[in-house]
Amino acid sequence: MKKIAVLLASVLLLAGCAPAGQVEISDAWVKSGEMSVEGGMTAVYGTITNNTDKEVTFVGGETAIAGLVEVHEMAMIDGEMKMQRIEGGLVIPAGESAVLEPGGNHLMLMQLTGDLMAGDMISVKFDFEGADSITLDSVMAKPAEGGDESYHETEMDMSN
């Protein structure tokens, strides 16, 4: 039974649609690169659409490959673009979408428990306030660089 549910979830993911009135996540992917090794970090991107009639807040998530998962934003800090945790989460008004993308908001995966390689598929749970959590079972690891040049320098911010 569980298998069927998983299969259905991946079919829905492939079709890029979810029933109206719910929160939907499309085109999710996770970055693989030099940093996505054991003990390192990476980020999950995609589009979260709030199809409900009330505000929801994207507050975090869970995945087996990361010890720490946080919702991050890129912000101008002391004249430099840096990553930082979004306190209280990312608010998505009713009927609107939030795009998680390199150089912008993202779901930060830290303290990786193993190497994440190009073409790997991982399962990621997205947690919300105001809506049920959503688990995607096949988030593809894409080789990608660029878009967030300050990636390396922000390690200090992350220990906060």
Partner 1 sequence: MVSRRGFLQGGAIGVAGSAIGATSGSLVANALNNTAAETATAKRQLPFYGKHQMGIETPIQAVTNLVAFDLKPETDRSSMLRWMTLLTDDIARLSRGEPVLADPAPELAIGPAGFSAYVGLGKSMFIKLGMESDIPAGFIDLPAFKMDQLEEKFSGGDVVIHVAADDPIALSHATRSLVRDSIPFASVRWTQSGFAHTPGVVKSGVTHRNLMGQIDGTANPQLNSDDFASVVWMDQGPEWAVGGTQMVFRRIAMQLDTWDQLGTKSKEEVIGRKLASGAPLTGTLETDAPDFAARLPNGLSVIPDFAHIRRAAPEAFKERIFRRPFSYEAGISESGSVDVGLLWCSYQANIEEQFLPIQRRLEEFDLLNKWTVPVGSATFFIPKGPEPDSVIAQALFS
Residues that bind partner 1 (CB under 8 A): 7, 10-11, 14, 27, 29, 31-32, 45, 102, 117-121, 140, 142-144, 146-147
Least Å from the CB of residue 55 to partner 1: 28
Work out the burial of residue 137: count CB atoms within 10 Å of its CB; fewer than 13 is exposed, 13-18 middle, 19 or more buried: middle
Q: CA distances (Å), 32 to each of 112, 133, 134, 144, in order?
A: 12, 24, 22, 7
Closer by beta carbon to partner 1, 36 or else 57: 36
Provide the token pair at 46.
């995609």
Residue 19 CB neighbours (<10 A): 8
Closer by beta carbon to partner 1, 103 or else 130: 103
Closer by beta carbon to partner 1, 67 or else 143: 143
Closer by beta carbon to partner 1, 85 or else 142: 142
Least Å from the CB of residue 42 to partner 1: 12
Closer by beta carbon to partner 1, 59 or else 98: 98
User: Which amino acid appears at position 77 of this protein?
Assistant: I
Q: What is the phi-psi region of residue 146: left when phi exceeds 0, alpha when psi lies from -120 to 50, beta otherwise?
A: left
* Cross-strand partners of 62: 125
Cα 67 to Cα 78: distance, rounded to the nearest angstrom? 29
Least Å from the CB of residue 81 to partner 1: 17
